Structure 1
Amino acid sequence: MLTGSAREISKATLVQLQLPRPATGQAMIKSAYVRRLGLRPGEAEAVRDHLRDTGTAGSPAGSGDSAAGGEGPAGEVSDELIGLLAEFERPVPSSLLPSPSEFAPVPVPALEAFGDALIELRQRRVERLAAGRAGAAADTAADPAADVPPADVEGLAQQDVRSAVVAVRALAANTQATPLGMLNLERLEMVPAGLERGELLATIPLAPLEETAVSHKEWSVRSKEFTSIVTDSLETVSETGVTDNTELAQSTTSQAQHSNQFNVTATVTGGIPVINGSAQSGFTSQDSRSQSASDSTKHATALTKKASSRAKQEHKITISTTTVTGTEETSTRKLRNPSASEPMRVDYFSLMRRWRVRLYRHGLRMTYDLVIPEPGAGLRRMHKELADLKGRLGPFQFALPHSEITEAILPGETQPHYRVLAERYGAVVPDPPLPPSAPQFSVGAPSQEEGWHIFTPDPLEVPAGYRIKTLKLWFATTSKKDEKFSFKVLGTPLYIKDETQGEYGPAELTSGAYGKFMLHATGKVYISFEMVNNRNTTIRVASEIEEIPTQLDPDPAKPPKSDRIREKWQSDVWNLLRDAAQSQYYERQQDIATKAAALQEQIEQVDTLTLRREEGDEIMKGVLRFLLGPDFALMPQPVIDAFIKAKVDLEHGIGFDDNNLGLDATAWATVRGHEDVIRFINQAIEWENVVTFLYSYFWDVPQSWNFIRRLRHPDANRQAFLRSGSARVVLTVRKGWEEEWVNFAEGGFKTPPVTPNAKYLTIAREIAAYDDRNYPGIPPANPARSAVRLEEAVYTTSRDVLAKSSNPVNIKVDSSKDFLVGAQVVLDSADKVDPADGRVVQETQIVTAIPDVTHLTVGRLDRAHDGSVTPFAVLQPGTKGALIAEWNEYTPSSGTDIEIGSDLGSGA
């Protein structure tokens, strides 16, 4: 076997345990549920009153038949629980809220009953606000957001209903199923094991002395399907030009990626690229081991079978024969039967590469299941920004009415409103037109010594669009000596005669007394005077003008409406404002389009490795928020305030790139406030091996369905992540942290810790013990390809009778060959129990010395071992783990085999 050419694929088998729903524990899940409800002041008491009215509330405090710890019926909400929940109505920092451990003894049905009642009350409030009944005013007055508009109050109320619904659903999903499971770490190894003759490709029969030419042609068809399997694939480096595209390992990897990326309802992501599930079962010292091994073997066998078939489909060979008479071509191979009497047959066979496939199980990890809502919520924000930008692109519209263009100074403004509009749109507009001056004249008439004459001064020039409203006349004159004068306004009844001198006026010629002379006259208005025997005559005429009306008001008490000049000014200003606004709009549209294109590129032009890391970060953030509550301060606000006070650059994330941050001891204490929790979560979980199952968009709230299902991304994995409505996250607990994690997740992070559910704690201990006994010395779950590994385990037996000892113990064995100093060895069997305490006697110790070929020295013995009746086993496990399945696969090669006259009947 060519062991140096081995290929490896890491895989795992997840076994979900099935246990009764625990009465206590799950403190972190319950605490996160209460935080997600977002209780407002007074809601806990309102729910208690509602439950009392419906008969599902617990007894009053002090009655002794119901408590927060669940002494009463499971579905009843006690006064103690109401008091505990009321603590979360206060707007205080999360560090001052009750510890999650307070919820460990609270029954889940009581929390569900509280949540259902809260949803009902919040829904009623939404209905009252929507209907505008009197109850809405009282609710608004009591609401912390009472100073916001009514529409926003109703929106906040709807958001409260949504938060409660999501929280109740998450509580049911995360407490109904057992969160504990087992993840069997496995490795699929494929090693080339030589070449074998494959199927018959062609047979060429030759008659005696017959000669023929054979043309041999071979080619391979390479297909790029799903994600490109010959280029950079996920986090792996490119292997183009290094590996044969038809080899088993490459095809198997492609099949695994196809299965992971295109399973719409359950996309698998995380550190283990190939994972299959096994049947649920109870846990009694790995009861499900044989079942999970069988399921894993079937899954791995099916995977390699499909890959082998794919490789064969990609490899094509054709052989064509032509008979040559009298000519010879250099591209052909001539075959000739030398016998003059016997026929001959030439058989062509394909050469197949044989692969030895082995499935190893090398470790066992405890898993903890969570269901988190909207895993891609943080990454959707950029898509929302892009949608908002695209939504702002559209045709130009200018909705400013002409009537808003006025020279009046509106409330809150310091200048005429038309100037405010001009500054808003960046336009230069003319001032409103001033009313024209009314025409008038004052002239001296020529003296008339003899007879009479008619005098017509220059006309009154009435401006365009205006007409005469009033016309008044003043005149003064004297007569000739010994004569009397006469003065008459032609066209009017005004006639003064037989006077010697005098001053007259004003006479309103446009009044009815003078026949409404020149009333509403326009253009040039001529006034003629007839005078007799006058001298020293002065005439003055003054007018009032008005705009010519364009529309008469039906109410005769009101003056006619006429403002054509003003309307023209408003129209001119409106056009100037519109042109300026249009220019601004197109500039903004161009800027928005540029931003949208840049954001689109930022979303799509990201390498695959970065995409996977971002998704992993979002999963970790979602888990933290679920376990520690949505208000958990990843960076406490007091620290941010301290940075701002110290004038630290927060926008670019370089706040800690300075020797002097200006933080005092109190600020640094706040920074370290959650240090223990953060360190514990990062150490206790193998975040590189967290497995995520993404569920479809319809597991999110219906209001977001339309947006989520329209999300698009060139990377199929990112698109599935963005579209997921919720996600099942399988946390892989790091080896050695099983009991601590159960204490944390089930009992709450508290010192001293709250004792979690006994069954869960037992399972954690058994999983850790089984991994120690059966897989000691195994490298991490994702070992480097260059890691040195032994091929198989080393095994021997001992007949010694050994007692417990804290000192080194020398053990007599059948053979110490191949054992190594410093290696771990497993002593005794897993099914042997010490009758004194009922504990398994199997243990793991370190070889400290090998004195000779029949002795081993271990550092200590924690259990007694008796090999006098039945020898006990001493096993040094191989780092490959336990071999659970082995089979052969075949892929085509580029070679062919030729045989003359083969015996086809033998099945060759």
Structure 2
Amino acid sequence: MDVAESAPVLDNSAREILKGTLVSVHVPAAGDEPGGGIVKLGAIRQLALARGDTDDALDRLGNIEQRYGDTAHVSTETLELLKAFEDPLVPSLRPDLTAISRIPARELAAFAEALIEKRTEHMRGVKAADSPIEIGRSAQALNAAAIALRALTTGTATPPIGMLNLERIEMVPVGIQRGELVSTIPLAPGEETAVTYKEWSVTSKEFTTIVTDSLEEISETGVTDNTDLSQSTSSQSQHSNQFNITGTVQGGIPIISGSSTTGFTAQGSNSVSASESIKHARTTTMKASARSRREHKVTVSTTTETGTSQTSTRMLKNTNNVNPIRIDYFSLMRKWRVRLYRYGLRLTYDIVVPEPGSAMRRAYAKLELLRAQQGPFTFNVKRSDITTDRVNQDGNPDPNGIPKYQWLAERQGVSVKAYPAEPTPLTPTARDSTNGGWWFLDSEFDVPGGTRIREIRLDAQIGKDDSDDKMNFDVIGSYIEPGWQRRTEALIIRDHKIMSVVASGVPFMQGYTGHQKVTFFFHHSEQVLCRLTVHLELTPEAIEQWLTDVWNALYDAAQTKHFAQQQEIAASIAAIEEKLANVDTLTLRREESDEIMKCVLKFILGTDFDFMPANVLAAFVAANVDLQHGIGFDQPSLGLTPEQWTLVRQHEDVIRFINQAIEWENVVTFLYSYFWDVPPSWPFIRQLRHPDPTRQAFLRAGSARVVLTVRKGWEERWMRYAEGGSIGAPIPAPYLSIAREIAAYDDRNYPGIPPANPGRAAVHLQDAVFTTSTVDIAPSSNPVTIKVADSSGFVVDLPVIIDVEDERHIQEAQTVIAIPNTTNITVAKVMFAHRGTEAPVPILQPGEKGALIAEWNEYTPTSGTDIAVTSNLATIS
């Protein structure tokens, strides 16, 4: 059964898709006539002329007539203009676009070829000198010149203008059509069967307890609560379908004729199913340790799953006890009426801009930089680096600097133990009154922990008794000094270094630690005093412990700092990714449109143009305005000088003209692949990803062809600016005539807002009002009343199209100023004579939709199902 025949046309449910057809325009070569200012200026900028390049190219040209002939001649005027690009005192001294457009393309190409030869020679000389930096600079300069010559040759050989047909596809649902057989249930006489429908939902809850113990006796408990809820509904019905529809539409009107053949093929498999999954995860960490070394973890998990299920059964029975039946299920298809309208024509101008998404790549460059900083913790300070050597702020030796271990601590932002101070010497003193015989005197002291004896020095005063015997003195265990034996007089010793063995040079008790006792021997002495000065030094164990403490402090500080940085980096990465991903589609397209506009301005206005001049920006900074949030112009007074305002406004006329002359809403952009960008950026660009495929392609574009759509009525002025550098500049005749022709064609065939295309047969014009006149219409500059077959439907103040477009070229568009009655209309004037007595003159008032170019029907599958009970297979389509 065809249910589409009785279904209404749902005009309110129409879908519209705006599109455009770009048509190139073949223009005769203009030779060396003035023009192509934008292309030539772009080539000169690409040459990147440095001081002396013009003179070098002139030397290379040399004998022009003998080497190249007339084609290589470069005039003095051209050389002077090019020299102005080398190193002007200020950018505004460079020649403007008007002057550049007058340079013959042949001369500019000859200059570029000479410059390439000169730079090639310089490149060979630099390679011989084997200077990597100079080789890179020379290669970049040579490559820039080669690209400039290629762009100039291509840009001047290929006309930049074209036509864009503004079109719209309108799809209107016109009904439902039964589709193919998708499922069948056969039933024998009296047979009964069941069709099962099942629906279920499952809830899963997991409770996990994690206990972590470390060697530092730190215990942490983490609790993770995961709840999963999934719900699914499905029917046990699956079908596949395949259908083919082909339609051919032919038609023509005096201006546009065309043939449209449309084919639609669909093949698919459809399984009726629906599923819904809701997952909820919550993680709570009760304690986190700043550092952990060796850990022992115990995990206890408990999982609980609960589910519900609902099943319904439909019983099907063949009540006929004689004949079998079959229950057939068919897919339902939506039928669409598709119409292609053409409602306008625009002049276009092509340019190619590099890196359209360069500004948007900054966020990805920052992401790459942040990701490069992610990684495991590494500590590069060795124990041997921890010294007391003096260094400066850069870590280089400096006797007036700070100890290196303190320099290391400052880099990590931590305080460490100072190097242990030199131990204070001990001064044990012993005195006694001896009896003249053998006498032993002990001097005891304790060596502080972490130190040891380096040397001992002795100060003593020993008196002689009254006997005639000779006096002897000795430090038990030390070297026996000859001067202290068999003395006849008192002995005074000052700061004497006690040695164990003189020959070995080992001081007495060197390296001793802990509690010590020094015994003195006296013979024939009285009233003795012995004072020891025990000089100490740090033990190797104490120094090693200090090194360990400092290294641990540096390590812990560096580790904590690293973990904090990693958290900050991860948070920054997440924030940037959030900003990049969670942007609505309309905002993405608007951002891309803004970037294209910026690229066009930079291409046309060149390096001399600043969106905000540096000195004006400096003035804003000095005025203390909020520049970071873009509210600098919100201040009551900016404090700018007239000169600074002049810099801000120096390009405002050009900017205003470009924004008015170009229909930015209809600009067409063709993205070229990443390899049209500089080779070092290829690996980075290839890895750029974005959830929106259009944005991803925009980010990965190495360059872009931008087809600028010239606004209606601005065709001639745009061509004069683009080719001649100013709105009133002379331009090559072919470009100007084609611009005028496109504008006239649009006025004649697409008048009014919205416009439409006239023709002899009104059946191709949607919502247009059509009539004819069988009287002769004479030209007049005054209002003219025209007798027509029927004036019903015509509207005052809207244009009408009089006559048809043919070899006579008398079709015209005029405005209706009055409708006297049902058989007359009055127009503002008539420019041509129209002979209605020879053939009826068509008069048409354009409708709202435009010219109907093609019409066809399409089908799309729906979720609906049709059912039929039959036993005749032949009736199944």
Q: TM-score range by the shorter chain?
A: 0.7 to 0.9
8 Å Cα contact 2:783-2:826 kept in structure 1: yes
TM-score by length of structure 1 reads 0.71
Which residue of structure 2 lines up, in the alignment, with residue 847 of structure 1? 816
CA displacement at 1:644 relative to structure 2: 3.0
**Partner amino acid, structure 1, of 2:416:** V
**Partner amino acid, structure 2, of 1:612:** R
Summarize the alignment of residues 176-575 of structure 1 with structure 2, pairs less than 5 Å apart: 176-193=157-174, 293-294=258-259, 297-298=260-261, 301-302=262-263, 305-306=264-265, 309=266, 332=316, 354-400=335-381, 402-403=384-385, 405-406=387-388, 408=390, 410=392, 416=403, 418-438=405-425, 443-444=430-431, 446-449=433-436, 451-455=437-441, 457-458=443-444, 468=454, 475-488=461-474, 491-492=479-480, 494=482, 499-505=487-493, 510=499, 518=507, 521-523=510-512, 529-540=520-531, 569-575=546-552
Which residue of structure 2 lines up, in the alignment, with residue 878 of structure 1? 847
Which residue of structure 1 lines up, in the alignment, with residue 52 of structure 2? 42
Cα deviations by residue, 1:126-165 (Å, 9 ceiling, x for unpaired): 88889876xx7xxxxxxxxxxxxx97x9887777667666
Note closer, same or farther for the CA distance 1:288–1:125 as it changes in structure 2 (3 Å cut). farther
CA displacement at 1:87 relative to structure 2: 2.0
Q: SS of the counterpart of 1:444? A: strand
Larger deviation: 702-711 or 631-640?
631-640
Note closer, same or farther for the CA distance 1:806–1:377 as it changes in structure 2 (3 Å cut). same
The structure, 1 or 2, with the larger RCO (C-alpha pairs under 8 Å, 6+ apart) is 1
Larger deviation: 603-612 or 570-579?
570-579
Q: SS of the counterpart of 1:730? A: strand
CA displacement at 1:704 relative to structure 2: 0.8
Cα deviations by residue, 1:255-285 (Å, 9 ceiling, x for unpaired): xxxxxxxxxxxxxxxxxxxxxxxxxxxxxxx
Alpha-carbon distance between aligned partners in 1 of 2:416 and 2:464, rounded to the nearest angstrom: 55
CA displacement at 1:356 relative to structure 2: 3.7
Cα deviations by residue, 1:154-202 (Å, 9 ceiling, x for unpaired): 8877776676666556545544432211112223334455667777899
**Partner amino acid, structure 1, of 2:854:** A
Alpha-carbon distance between aligned partners in 2 of 1:578 and 1:628, rounded to the nearest angstrom: 56
Note closer, same or farther for the CA distance 1:128–1:352 as it changes in structure 2 (3 Å cut). same
Summarize the alignment of residues 563-712 of structure 1 with structure 2, pairs less than 5 Å apart: 569-663=546-640, 666-712=643-689
CA displacement at 1:766 relative to structure 2: 1.1
**Partner amino acid, structure 1, of 2:784:** V
CA displacement at 1:670 relative to structure 2: 4.1
1:10 aligns with 2:18: yes
Cα deviations by residue, 1:732-772 (Å, 9 ceiling, x for unpaired): 22211111211121111x26x22122211111111111111
8 Å Cα contact 1:778-1:880 kept in structure 2: no
Q: SS of the counterpart of 1:767? A: helix
**Partner amino acid, structure 2, of 1:427:** V
Alpha-carbon distance between aligned partners in 2 of 1:460 and 1:518, rounded to the nearest angstrom: 18
Alpha-carbon distance between aligned partners in 1 of 2:535 and 2:491, rounded to the nearest angstrom: 22
Which residue of structure 2 lines up, in the alignment, with residue 324 of structure 1? none
**Partner amino acid, structure 2, of 1:500:** T
Alpha-carbon distance between aligned partners in 1 of 2:82 and 2:859, rounded to the nearest angstrom: 64
Alpha-carbon distance between aligned partners in 1 of 2:185 and 2:503, rounded to the nearest angstrom: 135
CA displacement at 1:35 relative to structure 2: 3.2
Cα deviations by residue, 1:659-710 (Å, 9 ceiling, x for unpaired): 4444455554444332222222122122112122222212222111100111
Note closer, same or farther for the CA distance 1:455–1:643 as it changes in structure 2 (3 Å cut). closer
**Which residue, out of 32, 37, 40, partners 2:42?**
32
Gaps of 5+ in 1: 60-64, 67-71, 137-149, 219-250, 253-285, 318-328, 549-562, 782-788, 834-839
Which residue of structure 1 lines up, in the alignment, with residue 776 of structure 2? 800
**Partner amino acid, structure 2, of 1:52:** L
Note closer, same or farther for the CA distance 1:485–1:430 as it changes in structure 2 (3 Å cut). same
**Which residue, out of 732, 742, 766, partners 1:767?**
742
Cα deviations by residue, 1:279-301 (Å, 9 ceiling, x for unpaired): xxxxxxx99965xx55xx35xx3
Q: SS of the counterpart of 1:436? A: coil
Alpha-carbon distance between aligned partners in 1 of 2:490 and 2:721, rounded to the nearest angstrom: 118
**Which residue, out of 755, 758, 762, partners 2:733?**
758
Alpha-carbon distance between aligned partners in 2 of 1:205 and 1:398, rounded to the nearest angstrom: 77
Note closer, same or farther for the CA distance 1:854–1:660 as it changes in structure 2 (3 Å cut). same
CA displacement at 1:635 relative to structure 2: 2.9
Q: SS of the counterpart of 1:34? A: helix
1:856 aligns with 2:864: no
Which residue of structure 2 lines up, in the alignment, with residue 52 of structure 1? 61
8 Å Cα contact 1:488-1:494 kept in structure 2: no
Q: SS of the counterpart of 1:371? A: strand
CA displacement at 1:885 relative to structure 2: 2.4
CA displacement at 1:596 relative to structure 2: 1.0
8 Å Cα contact 2:343-2:755 kept in structure 1: no
Cα deviations by residue, 1:561-619 (Å, 9 ceiling, x for unpaired): xx876565445333322322222222122111111111111111111111111111111
Which residue of structure 1 lines up, in the alignment, with residue 101 of structure 2? 104
**Partner amino acid, structure 2, of 1:101:** T
Which residue of structure 2 lines up, in the alignment, with residue 743 of structure 1? 720
Alpha-carbon distance between aligned partners in 2 of 1:571 and 1:516, rounded to the nearest angstrom: 33
8 Å Cα contact 2:791-2:825 kept in structure 1: yes
Alpha-carbon distance between aligned partners in 1 of 2:829 and 2:526, rounded to the nearest angstrom: 150
8 Å Cα contact 1:469-1:520 kept in structure 2: yes
8 Å Cα contact 1:57-1:77 kept in structure 2: no
Q: SS of the counterpart of 2:43? A: helix
Q: SS of the counterpart of 1:89? A: coil
Alpha-carbon distance between aligned partners in 2 of 1:740 and 1:351, rounded to the nearest angstrom: 55
CA displacement at 1:42 relative to structure 2: 3.4
Alpha-carbon distance between aligned partners in 2 of 1:699 and 1:612, rounded to the nearest angstrom: 23
Alpha-carbon distance between aligned partners in 1 of 2:255 and 2:832, rounded to the nearest angstrom: 27
CA displacement at 1:380 relative to structure 2: 0.8
**Which residue, out of 880, 883, 888, partners 2:857?**
888
Q: SS of the counterpart of 2:167? A: strand
Which residue of structure 1 lines up, in the alignment, with residue 304 of structure 2? none
TM-score by length of structure 2 reads 0.73
**Partner amino acid, structure 1, of 2:375:** G
**Partner amino acid, structure 1, of 2:746:** D
Note closer, same or farther for the CA distance 1:708–1:112 as it changes in structure 2 (3 Å cut). farther
1:791 aligns with 2:767: yes
CA displacement at 1:649 relative to structure 2: 1.6
Which residue of structure 2 lines up, in the alignment, with residue 228 of structure 1? none
**Partner amino acid, structure 1, of 2:40:** K
